Amino acid sequence: MSFQLSPGAEGLRTRLFHIIFESDTPGAKAFDIALIIAILISVAVILLDSVDAYAERFGHIFFYLEWAFALIFSLELAVRIYCLERPTIYLKSFYGIVDVIAILPAWLVLLVPGAHGLVIVRILRVLRIFRILRLMEFIGEGRLLLDALKRSLRQILLFFSSILMVVTLFAALMYTIESPEAGFTSIPMSMYWAIVSMTTVGYGDIVPATSLGKAITMILMLMGYSIIAVPTGVFSAQVIRSIREDRYSEEACPGCGHDRHEKRARYCLRCGTWLDEDSEDPRKKDEHKNEKRP
Amino acid sequence: MSFQLSPGAEGLRTRLFHIIFESDTPGAKAFDIALIIAILISVAVILLDSVDAYAERFGHIFFYLEWAFALIFSLELAVRIYCLERPTIYLKSFYGIVDVIAILPAWLVLLVPGAHGLVIVRILRVLRIFRILRLMEFIGEGRLLLDALKRSLRQILLFFSSILMVVTLFAALMYTIESPEAGFTSIPMSMYWAIVSMTTVGYGDIVPATSLGKAITMILMLMGYSIIAVPTGVFSAQVIRSIREDRYSEEACPGCGHDRHEKRARYCLRCGTWLDEDSEDPRKKDEHKNEKRP
Amino acid sequence: MSFQLSPGAEGLRTRLFHIIFESDTPGAKAFDIALIIAILISVAVILLDSVDAYAERFGHIFFYLEWAFALIFSLELAVRIYCLERPTIYLKSFYGIVDVIAILPAWLVLLVPGAHGLVIVRILRVLRIFRILRLMEFIGEGRLLLDALKRSLRQILLFFSSILMVVTLFAALMYTIESPEAGFTSIPMSMYWAIVSMTTVGYGDIVPATSLGKAITMILMLMGYSIIAVPTGVFSAQVIRSIREDRYSEEACPGCGHDRHEKRARYCLRCGTWLDEDSEDPRKKDEHKNEKRP
Amino acid sequence: MSFQLSPGAEGLRTRLFHIIFESDTPGAKAFDIALIIAILISVAVILLDSVDAYAERFGHIFFYLEWAFALIFSLELAVRIYCLERPTIYLKSFYGIVDVIAILPAWLVLLVPGAHGLVIVRILRVLRIFRILRLMEFIGEGRLLLDALKRSLRQILLFFSSILMVVTLFAALMYTIESPEAGFTSIPMSMYWAIVSMTTVGYGDIVPATSLGKAITMILMLMGYSIIAVPTGVFSAQVIRSIREDRYSEEACPGCGHDRHEKRARYCLRCGTWLDEDSEDPRKKDEHKNEKRP
């Protein structure tokens, strides 16, 4: 992240900044772990609060815990804003928005008594669960995966377009063949069935009733079963490629500036310059010998 | 595609041709995007028109929209034909047929009342999206996938033949073991069950009732679960091969014979020899200069 | 196959042998295709004969067709035996047994009335398709797959052992937690449920009823969902390895007999001998020069 | 394992140690196979004993078999402890605990009547199969898999964290949209449904009832269907890497610096230099002989 402190910032702010926004000191690590645990517990409270049996028995405990988490997360956000130079930029960033979403609904639920607008309160209570997204801050490994995903993005889009076309065509076909009694009441409903079948989920709530419908379903299921090999193959290839590119050195050629050589390359593949600056080019040695001989 | 204009074609036709049949100018791209949106909306109209609730309320709007799209697509087809030298060849091509299919049923539905069953033909206009995908930069990705598919075609055929044999044998076995009450009324019905089980869809509409049937089902499910690794492995390997072969030139270094250079390499990565035999090594030019100077 | 003809065999037998047991002449290919069609139709007859509605209406046609196929396949087997030197070896081989199985039950069904249960044995004739696949050019593809399967056999065995252990443990756990009313009447029944869940088939005929059972099911499903990556990864790697080994030349080193060099290798990796017998070893050239110079 | 015998241990203990804790002699292999069979039968007894029909009829046989296995496994454990120098270390190791667990509950069930719930603990003896798999030649395969798993551990954790976040968010969403009548009674219950759907299991016990719920379900199913490509791709890449790194030595050729030789290579594949610096090149020996001869 690039939220920097002004050079003249006082010590407390600097220290807080390092603890909250970084993770390479013991203090910062302890803060991260405490925050993860707080988020997980607060999410668990929301989950359990939605179960009627628990809500009845432990409702007041959940209520106090929610107050506690609302206070903790609000305090944390306040400190975050306090130790930043440009808090507005932070609040408009993805993680800033997630941080606000993690707090606002809690206050709304706690302060607005739920007599009127029960639905909104209920939705707000559920919205609190978005604070789980804050965990994404702590995950660093994604770069290799995101890299491979980015490379296969076009192929994945192509894959999904094809899937949706197949689904639409099969849905229209089944809508014509099967009767509404079997559940194929409209093309969108048939599409729901086609996706349930093609992704091999197979709830069984809508099922073909006619022989012809069953025959077409078999084809659709075999397609769905085997077609998954396509994105898997593409993605495997891209991950392998991403790993392999770790084999490439990032040092630029002193001759032409080209910066993507295999680590074992000895000469620049674009201009032929000797890459290893610590030793001498064997070609030069040969030239020296030739010079000395006559 | 190879629908060319005669050299003496007037400017309008040439310009229309570039806009409609290509996609590398801003105008052509705008046309492609407008066409995709039109296709998607017209497909959405067909989908929603099949839902009784919407058909009752918005039926007349859908009717007018269908008229509008019939007119738009007809006009588009007319312009396509107008700006081509040999429209008959185009009309006989895959995309030509799809274009006609996208229009004809619309007119039939609008003019002949009650031609409801044409919904499958009308929805074929979703295939037109392929044409635009093809025109846009998805070609490269698609070609790589098709290339890998073509290479693994025989193995995929072998895979499906084996699947169908396994399905037939298990279906016959279950037909003998299980009673018709459990749903195994005939071998084709058992095959439907076997495919539902093997592809891991598992609707649950037909389910083994006897212990022996359940034991056999376990084997079938484990087979289906693990056998998918075969086409996935084959396809992964082929995609990797296709990607790799794109990167390496097959020409050997004239200096040391090393024969697996990346296509972008200009010097041999092992001995530093200039690889492009059609032009001169820039280093030599420098040497010539040095020779001339003194 | 190694069913050879005696040197003095008469022309007819030799010609029949080439047509029936090989597939590289037009006659042999026509025979293969005719045989595949005959097998497919005879299997289709068995399938349709098991459907009550068809059996009632077309029962007599199916009966005559079965007679016809019994005669055709018997004749084919007779010719096969006739044109072989050692038919007993052939009859004891896998394909010989399949050929006999494809005929015998047909005769039994036709001659002994009510031998309905033989449908499983009759349908085994679908296995004959393997013989033709084997004869045609699918061999190469199949060999690559079998090669990769053989290499990953141990890992696949390990995978299945682990799966079965997990299934047994989860089944015992669920048997203790869930009640028989929910379908968990015994550990084997729980194992059936565990395999249905772990392979992501999910019929839904047995489903956890308690909260704890549902929590454990979630873990099992996530395991089954992700663990499939293991055999897929192993198999992908093995296919890639098999393909890559196509990169290895099969010519032996003239120096030490070592026979697995990369095709681009110029020196034997075991004894350093120059491998390309058509050109001279550059090291020797250098030696010649050195010899000539003084 | 490192359970060593003291140098002065008597012959019997040494011999027993080799038979029981190793697997490279015929006696040790026979012991392993006998043990595997005993474990499998004893597990089968537990499985069948849970089926009411079998328990009623063969209950007394199962009872005597359980006694027999309790005795056999106790004897085996006694011998194991007897032939070890430091049995306490062994008893605290994973396999020691599993061995004790395999015996204790059997005695408890036999001596304390009605300790039926111990079936889960008793069935843990299936874990003992791992010990034998480990002893036999499956080690190599397992190590490769574990190696690849260890490398992709972080990415797998990332994958599961992402899955659980998606599941939580979709569950909260569906809890708000769908009614409790459709089965979405609480967020944890919705999470159960989300995992059933995302892992493509699809029991069908909880199914969306509203149109909006169905639309969201389609997105979730497509995500689950395609996202499995991620761990598969990552794991494939890691297996390929593990296999490859097994094949290549990391030492460079002293002649030309080429640094990716197969481990079995004795000469550099590019310049023919002798690679093993600890011994002399056999070709040089030949030259020495030639020099000495004249």
d(CA C110, CA B206): 31
Chain C 25-64, residues with CB within 8 Å of chain B CB atoms: 43, 46-48, 50-52
d(CA B167, CA D55): 35
Structural domain total, chain A? 2
pLDDT value of position D143: 67
3-class secondary-structure state, position B242: helix
- Assign A251 a pLDDT band (cuts: 50, 70, 90): low
Is there a single domain that holds both residue D23 and residue D104? yes
Is there a single domain that holds both residue C148 and residue C115? no
pLDDT value of position C1: 42
> Which chain D positions have a beta carbon within 8 Å of A122's beta carbon?
176
User: What is the 8-class DSSP label of residue B248?
Assistant: B
Is there a single domain that holds both residue B203 and residue B178? yes
- Assign D147 a pLDDT band (cuts: 50, 70, 90): confident
- Assign D165 a pLDDT band (cuts: 50, 70, 90): confident
Is there a single domain that holds both residue A33 and residue A130? yes
Q: Which residue of A has its CA nearest to C240?
A: A237
As given in the structure block, the two tokens for residue A273 are: 């310059």
Of the candidates A59, A69, A138, the one whose C-alpha atom is nearest the C-alpha of residue A103 is A69
Domain annotation covers residue B57: yes
Unique residue bearing structure tokens 């050299």 = B7
- Assign C134 a pLDDT band (cuts: 50, 70, 90): low
Four-CA torsion A17, A19, A22, A28, nearest 10 degrees: 180
Is there a single domain that holds both residue D82 and residue D23? yes
| Binary contact (D172, A126; C-beta < 8 A) | yes
pLDDT tops 50 at residue D48 = yes
Does residue D128 sit at the C interface (CB-CB below 8 Å)?
A: no
d(CA A63, CA C223): 35
Residue ranges of the alpha helices (H) in chain B? Answer: 11-21, 26-49, 52-82, 87-92, 94-111, 119-122, 128-135, 138-151, 153-177, 187-198, 211-227, 229-247, 282-292
Calculate the average pLDDT of chain A.
78
pLDDT value of position D239: 82
Q: Looking only at Cα atoms, what is the longest distance across chain B?
A: 103
Rounded to an integer, the average pLDDT of A41-67 is 88
Does residue A202 sit at the C interface (CB-CB below 8 Å)?
A: yes
pLDDT value of position C228: 86
d(CA B84, CA B20): 11
d(CA A58, CA C177): 25
pLDDT value of position A115: 45
Is there a single domain that holds both residue D156 and residue D68? no
Tell me, what CATH number does B190's domain have? 1.10.287.70
pTM across the whole model = 0.82
Of the candidates B90, B86, B80, B41, the one whose C-alpha atom is nearest the C-alpha of residue B64 is B41
pLDDT value of position D3: 47
Unique residue bearing structure tokens 């037009």 = C26
For residues A218 and B164, is the Cβ–Cβ distance under 8 A?
no
For residues B186 and B175, is the Cβ–Cβ distance under 8 A?
yes
Domain annotation covers residue D290: no
As given in the structure block, the two tokens for residue A209 are: 């009733």
DSSP string, chain D: ---PPPTT--HHHHHHHHHHH--SSHHHHHHHHHHHHHHHHHHHHHHHHTSHHHHHHHHHHHHHHHHHHHHHHHHHHHHHHHT-S-HHHHHHSHHHHHHHHHHHHHHHHHHSTT-GGGHHHHGGGGGHHHHHHHHTTHHHHHHHHHHHHHHTHHHHHHHHHHHHHHHHHHHHHHHHHS-GGGT--SHHHHHHHHHHHHTT---SSS---SHHHHHHHHHHHHHHHHHTHHHHHHHHHHHHHHHHHHHB--PPPTTT-----BTT-SB-TTT--B--TTS--HHHHHHHHHHH--
Quickly count: other Cβ atoms within 10 Å of residue C56's Cβ: 8
Burial category of C30 from C-beta neighbours within 10 Å (exposed 0-12, middle 13-18, buried 19 and up): exposed
As given in the structure block, the two tokens for residue D90 are: 């062994």
- Assign D293 a pLDDT band (cuts: 50, 70, 90): very low
pLDDT in tens, A121-150: 666 667 777 777 767 666 555 566 677 777
d(CA A121, CA D129): 54
pLDDT tops 70 at residue D198 = yes
d(CA B180, CA B190): 10
How many percent of chain D have pLDDT more than 70?
72
Residue B85: give the domain boundaries.
12-135
Domain annotation covers residue A279: no
H/E segment holding residue A262: strand A261-262
Which of A99-113, C55-69, C194-208 is predicted least confidently? A99-113
pLDDT value of position B293: 46
| Binary contact (D272, C267; C-beta < 8 A) | yes
When comparing pLDDT for A247 and A75, which is higher? A75
Is there a single domain that holds both residue D210 and residue D147? yes
Buried b / exposed e over A260-275, threshold 16 CB at 10 Å, is: ebeeebbbbbbbbbbb
pLDDT value of position B168: 92
Rounded to an integer, the average pLDDT of A242-271 is 61
Quickly count: other Cβ atoms within 10 Å of residue D63's Cβ: 15
pLDDT value of position C2: 44
B236 CA: distance to closest CA in chain D (Å): 9
Domain annotation covers residue C269: no
Q: Which residues are bridge partners to B267 per DSSP?
A: B274
Rounded to an integer, the average pLDDT of A223-236 is 86
- Assign D285 a pLDDT band (cuts: 50, 70, 90): low
Does residue B175 sit at the C interface (CB-CB below 8 Å)?
A: yes
How many percent of chain C have pLDDT more than 70?
72
Does residue A244 sit at the B interface (CB-CB below 8 Å)?
A: no
As given in the structure block, the two tokens for residue B56 are: 């009752």
Other chains touching D, judged by 3 or more CB pairs under 8 Å: A, B, C
Q: Read off φ and ψ for residue B250, nearest 5 degrees.
A: -100, 0
For residues D244 and D251, is the Cβ–Cβ distance under 8 A?
no
pLDDT tops 50 at residue C294 = no
DSSP string, A135-184: GGGG--THHHHHHHHHHTHHHHHHHHHHHHHHHHHHHHHHHHHS-GGGT-
DSSP string, A17-75: HHHHH--SSHHHHHHHHHHHHHHHHHHHHHHHHTSHHHHHHHHHHHHHHHHHHHHHHHH
H/E segment holding residue C261: strand C261-262
Is there a single domain that holds both residue D20 and residue D65? yes
Chain A 259-278, residues with CB within 8 Å of chain D CB atoms: 264, 266
pLDDT in tens, C190-202: 999 999 999 999 9
B82 CA: distance to closest CA in chain D (Å): 42
3-class secondary-structure state, position B126: helix
Calculate the average pLDDT of chain C.
78
pLDDT value of position A293: 46
Q: Read off φ and ψ for residue A274, nearest 5 degrees.
A: -65, 125
For residues B210 and B178, is the Cβ–Cβ distance under 8 A?
yes
pLDDT in tens, A178-200: 989 999 999 999 999 999 999 99
As given in the structure block, the two tokens for residue D12 are: 């019997």
The beta-carbon contacts of D261-264 under 8 Å, at least 24 apart in sequence, are: D261/C269, D262/C269, D264/C269, D264/C270
H/E segment holding residue C231: helix C229-245
In which region does residue C51 sit, left (phi positive, over 0), alpha (psi from -120 to 50) or beta (all else)? beta
Between strands C248-249 and C261-262, the pairing is: antiparallel
Q: Read off φ and ψ for residue A59, nearest 5 degrees.
A: -50, -45
Domain annotation covers residue B274: no
When comparing pLDDT for D201 and B234, which is higher? D201
pLDDT tops 80 at residue D100 = yes
3-class secondary-structure state, position A249: strand
Chain A interface, best mutation among B139, B201, B268, by max A CB count within 10 A: B201
pLDDT tops 60 at residue D5 = no
Calculate the average pLDDT of chain D.
78
- Assign C293 a pLDDT band (cuts: 50, 70, 90): very low
pLDDT in tens, D237-272: 888 877 776 655 656 666 666 666 666 566 666 666
Quickly count: other Cβ atoms within 10 Å of residue D193's Cβ: 27
Domain annotation covers residue B248: no
Domain annotation covers residue C278: no
A135, A168, A188 - which closes a domain? A135
pLDDT value of position A105: 79
pLDDT value of position C282: 62
Rounded to an integer, the average pLDDT of C6-10 is 53
Does residue C169 sit at the D interface (CB-CB below 8 Å)?
A: yes
> Which chain B positions have a beta carbon within 8 Å of D256's beta carbon?
270
3-class secondary-structure state, position C262: strand
How many percent of chain C have pLDDT more than 90?
20
With vertex at residue A177, the alpha carbon angle to CA A174 and CA A181, rounded to the nearest 5 degrees, is 90
Is there a single domain that holds both residue C25 and residue C77? yes
Does residue A187 sit at the B interface (CB-CB below 8 Å)?
A: yes
Helices D187-198, D153-177: inter-axial angle, 10-degree rounding: 120
Interface size, chain B vs chain D, as Cβ–Cβ contacts under 8 Å:
13
Nearest by CB to residue D204, choosing from B200, B204, B236, is B204
Q: pLDDT in tens for each of the 294 residues of chain B? A: 444 445 545 678 888 888 877 777 888 888 888 888 888 898 898 889 889 889 889 988 988 898 898 899 889 888 888 888 888 888 888 778 888 887 887 787 777 766 556 777 777 778 777 766 665 555 556 667 777 777 777 777 888 888 998 999 999 999 989 989 989 999 999 999 999 999 999 999 999 999 999 999 999 999 999 888 888 888 888 888 777 766 556 566 666 666 655 665 666 666 666 666 666 666 565 555 555 444
pLDDT in tens, D205-231: 999 999 999 999 999 999 999 888 888
Domain annotation covers residue A274: no
Is there a single domain that holds both residue A42 and residue A89? yes
> Which chain C positions have a beta carbon within 8 Å of D271's beta carbon?
267
pLDDT value of position C280: 65
Tell me, what CATH number does B68's domain have? 1.20.120.350
B231, B246, B269 - which closes a domain? B231
C218 CA: distance to closest CA in chain D (Å): 6
For residues D216 and D199, is the Cβ–Cβ distance under 8 A?
no
Is there a single domain that holds both residue D146 and residue D82? no
Is there a single domain that holds both residue B163 and residue B59? no
- Assign A206 a pLDDT band (cuts: 50, 70, 90): very high
